[in-house]
Structure 1
Amino acid sequence: MSAAFSFALTATDGAARSGVISTPRGEIRTPAFMPVGTAATVKAMMPESVRATGADILLGNTYHLMLRPTAERIARLGGLHRFMNWERPILTDSGGFQVMSLAELRKLTEEGVTFRSHIDGSRHRLTPERSMEIQKLLGSDIVMCFDECPALPADDKRVAESMRLSMRWAARSKEAFGDRPGHALFGIQQGGVTQELRAESAEALRAIGFDGYAIGGLAVGEGQEAMFGVLDYAPGMLPEDKPRYLMGVGKPDDIVGAVARGVDMMDCVLPSRSGRTGQAFTRRGTVNIKNARHANDPRPLDEDCTCPACRNYSRAYLHHVFRAQEIISSMLLTWHNLHYFQEIMGGMRAAIAEGRFAAWQAAFHAGRAEGDIEPF
């Protein structure tokens, strides 16, 4: 593809890697965590606030945007970046995850998927070609192949059929994507938790050739141990000189474990969704701000954190606004969580560059194991 999209590895430490993805809209430092802006917004956050947390790239959702406000409308209004006031890189998923998560609303064939909208029941057709068209209309910098993956656990026959269908769709996606300088297309490895199927998928993707490679079909019910079991070999099956993206992950422990196994990019709704439900991730584990123990506590969530929630507000205030269902609760806790996730990424990038990733990882787990500070 175009020289305007490139990936350079700058350091490795064991299997962990740090590097830079260059795009016409700016650089993405890896390992990178991408906040999820499903409907052209990271919920409860302004775009400039998301950037202030350290995010280099956001994720947008093909399925949701094609239904509302429609990709055609976004294109008429100047594309997704202008529409949502985010001028840095955007990755869009293909709609493939919703093929799985909204299975009761869909009909799957070799050609593609027919959905019933979860909003109004209207019928929509999504194929590899249509997914590429939608993502082009959105103007995303990193486009994902259209794929299908079964929820786990599933039998090997079902996983194999699904993976091979996704590989045929990957070839169609590549053809439909065409030549788009400055934009990248990522293939998606499937194969469940079966090493032979993952190898077959990786070989098929490498033969087609992509700008980056995702590891799909994990964090869909198999559990962390099984996921790490796959990540012990799956990243190594993918080209070393291209970015590796683990889709839909995850919890802080999942992210660190994935980077330790050679993953460069991740995304998850967890930090923003948890913020809206009163959960804050800290270096000492997860804090549930709704608990009564915080009602009279004048201390910050995390005294070492520099986010606005920790700098300017007490646990008592955060507890109060959550209980009172005030909008600022979602705003502050989401900002804190996204800040913490980006702090993890920055910590890992520095540790990999300095050859001390194992020590950083041990300190990270030790801090999380300490648990929250004693009640006030």
Structure 2
Amino acid sequence: MEIVWKLITWKLKIKKNMFFPKQKNVKLKILKTRRGNVRLPAFMPIATRGAVKNLTPEELKNLGAEIILSNTYHLFQKPGLDVFKKIKGLHNFMKWSGPILTDSGGYQVFSLSHKRKITEKGVKFSSEIDGKEIFLTPEKVIDIQLAIGSDIIMVLDECPPYPCSRKYAEKSLDLTLKWAERSKKHFNLKTIHYKLKTKPLLFGIVQGSTYPDLRKKSAEKLIKIGFDGYAVGGVSVGEPREEKIKIIKLCAQILPKNKPIYVMGYGRPDEIVEAVKFGADMFDCVIPTREARHGRIYILNEKRRLKIKNLNSKNFYKTLQITNNKYRLDAKPLDKNCQCYTCQNYSRAYIHHLFKTKEPLGQRLATIHNLHFYLYLMKQLQK
């Protein structure tokens, strides 16, 4: 009987480590989720409300996207959980078969500074849609993400503003850590009957503003609680670049290398390259899609083609504003060395024309190119 029990225990230990390397110092190369593998480092195109602006899920897949990000707060507001329960989750709703990470919505809720009230129980705020009062707790946020069908669930956290006093940062961090503990307990309770291969992952979020000792405290406490991955939050709320780099570098040194490190809302191509060098694995940012909609195009610098050795400089890329009149007669593609659909088929002059005449196709073609640029960059970094 004792031998049988030891065998069961041994099998459980093996199962527990199926998704991650056993050695904490072994860097994770592939993130395994219930809906497929994600090669790291990875960039997640943003599908805030269940759609990446101007693109279909099929186009995203063809561009090489392996995972996307959606927002719990916005999806909870509209279309609402009744829709996801009826249609069996966001994947079926939007017809995306790959993994989805859902942001907890904490950043959006806490940006409503004059409309929300925070207590240890949760956060109370008024809906931007109909003005109704909504009360979110760490437990409810987990339930919402499970109903959405998220493959990577983020805990509810408070993202402190920049700048903020040490006193505020300490109080905010204590609340975030309490919420993280409650989130983990509730997640375990709700997923106790899930088979390992069908269980979503749960990520904790490191906060602490720009105070190194608070960041260290946050990371160490989250490791003790135990999560499938760790996010670095609060690095896209107005901090100077030097502060962001310090925070990311510090957190990457403390957090286990055999778990994914996700830097939230970050960043420009050169910032991503720098963060990867420190040990970061996952990124999301509105930059490639938002700037595409305004005609700002990311291209490789002619003198520094995209090879690993050239990524040591932030000068490996540049941007062009396709709405400028100098492109009106330019017959070249956006980037002559780019293999994306846009560059293989259309000229700068045509895309300039589309933007000038406000044809939606212009935004679509620019979005295809910018996302291809970001996703191709990640492929080079994966090498």
Q: Is the 8 A contact 1:4 1:23 kept in 2?
A: no
Are 1:33 and 2:43 matched, yes or no?
A: yes
- After TM superposition, list the pairs within 5 Å mapping 1:1-376 onto structure 2: 6-8=19-21, 19-178=29-188, 179=191, 180=194, 181=196, 182-284=199-301, 285-350=318-383
Cα deviation for residue 163 of structure 1 reads: 1.1
Q: Which residue of 2 aligns with 1:359?
A: none
What TM-score comes out, normalization by structure 1 length? Answer: 0.88
**Letter matched to residue 128 of structure 1:** P
Q: Which has the higher contact order (CA 8 A, sep 6+)?
A: 1
Cα deviation for residue 100 of structure 1 reads: 2.7
SS at match of 2:297: strand
Superimposed CA distance per residue, residues 125-172 of structure 1 (whole angstroms, 9 cap, x where no aligned partner): 111011001000001110001101112111111111111110000011
Q: Residues 112, 5 of structure 1: CA spacing in aligned structure 2 closer, same or farther, 3 A cutoff?
A: farther
Cα deviation for residue 3 of structure 1 reads: 5.2
SS at match of 1:36: coil
SS at match of 2:250: coil
Distance 1:237 1:71 in 2: 37
Q: Residues 176, 18 of structure 1: CA spacing in aligned structure 2 closer, same or farther, 3 A cutoff?
A: closer
Distance 1:205 1:41 in 2: 31
Cα deviation for residue 102 of structure 1 reads: 2.4
Superimposed CA distance per residue, residues 22-77 of structure 1 (whole angstroms, 9 cap, x where no aligned partner): 12211100000000100000010000111111111000100000000012311221
Q: Is the 8 A contact 1:192 1:198 kept in 2?
A: yes
Superimposed CA distance per residue, residues 314-367 of structure 1 (whole angstroms, 9 cap, x where no aligned partner): 1111111111111111111111111000011001111xxxxxxxxxxxxxxxxx
Q: Residues 5, 112 of structure 1: CA spacing in aligned structure 2 closer, same or farther, 3 A cutoff?
A: farther
Aligned length: 346
What TM-score comes out, normalization by structure 2 length? Answer: 0.87
Q: Residues 57, 5 of structure 1: CA spacing in aligned structure 2 closer, same or farther, 3 A cutoff?
A: farther
Distance 2:335 2:85 in 1: 42
Distance 2:158 2:373 in 1: 32
Superimposed CA distance per residue, residues 168-187 of structure 1 (whole angstroms, 9 cap, x where no aligned partner): 00011111112343211000
Backbone CA RMSD of aligned residues = 1.9
Q: Is the 8 A contact 1:128 1:170 kept in 2?
A: yes
Q: Which residue of 1 aligns with 2:307?
A: none
Distance 1:216 1:24 in 2: 24
